[in-house]
Amino acid sequence: MNEEKRTVDSYTVEHAIHVGDKEIVFATDENKTDTPYIVCDCEWFAPLGVYRYFSAEGSIDYLEMMGVFITRVSVQIEAMKEEKVRAGIPLEPVTPDQCEPNDYTKSIENMVVVIRADRLRPEYRTANNQIVLAKSGFGIYGNSRGRAVYTVNLFSGKQDRWNREDVLGILKPEHMPEWAKKRLKEIQARKQEKHKAPER
């Protein structure tokens, strides 16, 4: 069975490696006599639900562009390594034994939950990317037909949408890292401040 090839404009994608926040793409168009080979960056543009391609370089020299491709991948790898060092916290992934199982009959609203490692790309399978606060969505309720679970990452503060089946379980209190406890207290304090009655 022939799979449809991915394209970038008139170019056919031959190689693509996703590392960190972007994908590096090597594509060819043999009809382009001046630049049959290009390398560009790609990222998901959520507001429009499309992939955005940028920083394209082109050449008639295959080896030159393959070198550009490999260099860009290497730069992304080094950036991810530096990001892990800057995090300054233990990054071992959270394991099933550190969680209460994901019981679909129970609510996880305002619970600290763990995203399954296999739902994350390999470079993001670390505790700081797994530990989130379940905030809203039909999927947070028990026995719900809805699946959406909207979360806040306790390390980065980034908001994301997951499905209930992406949740490994509720993080057991004895396994909650100190950084997560601190961020949770900050979120709870902001929430209480927001709900205080205004002074008259």
The pTM for the full model equals 0.80
| 47 pLDDT higher than 80 | no
What's the confidence (pLDDT) of residue 188? 85
138 touches 145 (CB < 8 A) = yes
Whole-angstrom distance, CA of residue 71 vs CA of residue 79:
12
What's the confidence (pLDDT) of residue 33? 93
| 2 pLDDT higher than 70 | no
Helix (H) or strand (E) holding 41: strand 37-45
> What are the helix and strand counts (H, E) for the chain?
3, 11
Label residue 88 left, alpha or beta by phi (over 0 means left) and psi (-120 to 50 means alpha).
left
| 193 pLDDT higher than 80 | no
Share of the chain above pLDDT 90, in %: 80
Provide φ and ψ at 135, rounded to 5°. -105, -45
Architecture of 96-195 per CATH? Roll (2.30)
What's the confidence (pLDDT) of residue 198? 59
What's the confidence (pLDDT) of residue 139? 96
Chain mean pLDDT for the chain: 92
What's the confidence (pLDDT) of residue 199? 57
Rounded to an integer, the average pLDDT of 148-172 is 96
Gyration radius from the chain CA atoms: 22
What's the confidence (pLDDT) of residue 91? 86
Where do the domains of the chain lie?
7-87, 96-195
163-189 pLDDT per residue, tens: 999 999 999 999 999 999 999 999 888
86-101 pLDDT per residue, tens: 888 888 999 999 999 9
What's the confidence (pLDDT) of residue 196? 66
Q: How confident is the model at residue 49 (pLDDT cuts 50, 70, 90)?
A: confident
Distances from the Cα of 69 to the Cαs of 11, 12, 81, 119, 185, in angstroms?
15, 15, 19, 27, 44
Better-scored residue on pLDDT, 47 or 98: 98
**Residue among 118, 108, 106 nearest 171 (CA):** 108
Rounded to an integer, the average pLDDT of 27-36 is 96
| 1 pLDDT higher than 50 | no
